[in-house]
Amino acid sequence: MALICALIAAYNEAQHVGAVVAATAQYVSGVVVVDDGSTDATAARAREAGAIVLQHDRNRGKGSAIRTGLGRVLQEPYTHVLFLDGDFQHDPAEIPKLTSRAEHGVGELVIGERELDREAMPAARFYSNVIGSRILSGFIGAEMTDSQSGFRLIRSDLLRKVRLTGSRYEIETEMLIKLVRAGATLECVPVSRLRYEGVQSKMRPFRDTFRTCMLAVKYRYLEW
């Protein structure tokens, strides 16, 4: 039986994080939120909703927050870790699309691939994702269309095999490359497109995509 913990890295998400935690908790055995140095009530709202909350004293980046969370979650007997954002861009109601793979005895590395709609997405986000996904597909030897999706389910024992070093958004690429190299089977399941209305993305598409692509070379060929 799968025992799943959700891990949410959050920065200044007091408006949404409580509702995300409450909705997510319906589908998993535990929820851990890492408050990455927020200046609002993110930590309080997450704790009130029932999450275990870890806090950074300053903003260190999404990758650092994920690594902090994994340091706690992987000490527990969870079979899988579910990653999602705290701003409702990922719909918790779609969590079963990912977790059902684990319930069927698979689910080593499951990515929730969003519908990349050029008309609905900011142009910079659309093109940076398309370019980054094509480059990464070549690196890992598997076709994917949404490499930047942070909505993913990963088996805990595989996460324990890799050493993650990313401090920002590149950690999602680092995970993919290192986990596939460690033998993980990649699965992609379709999920709804992101909601952009009323949501301020903290990602800078071209800067972060360029940095991620450069680091992908390092993860693929130089770093184990």
Complete domains list, the chain, with CATH: 4-221 (3.90.550.10)
pLDDT digits (tens, 9 = 90+) for 60-87: 999 999 999 999 999 999 999 999 999 9
Closest CA to 168 of 67, 28, 46, 82: 67
Model confidence pLDDT, tens digit, residues 112-124: 987 655 554 555 5
Q: 148-181 pLDDT, tens per residue?
A: 789 999 999 999 999 999 998 889 888 988 998 8
The angle at the Cα of 82, spanning 39 to 174, to the nearest 5 degrees, equals 80
For residue 26, give every residue at least 6 positions away whose Cβ sits within 8 Å of its Cβ, in sequence order, or none. Answer: 92
More confident residue, 209 or 12: 12
| DSSP type of residue 93 | G
Q: Per the confidence metrics, is the pTM higher than 0.95?
A: no
Checking if the pLDDT of 196 tops 90, the result is no
Q: Which residues pair with 81 in a beta bridge?
A: 5, 154
pLDDT of residue 15: 97
At 127 the pLDDT is 47
- CA–CA gap between residue 36 and residue 14 (Å, rounded): 12
- Smallest CA-to-CA distance from 139 within 224, 223, 219 is with 219
Asked if 108 and 184 count as a contact pair (C-beta separation under 8 A), the reply is yes
How many other CB atoms sit within 10 Å of the CB of residue 105? Answer: 7
Q: How far apart are CA 10 and CA 71, in angstroms?
A: 16
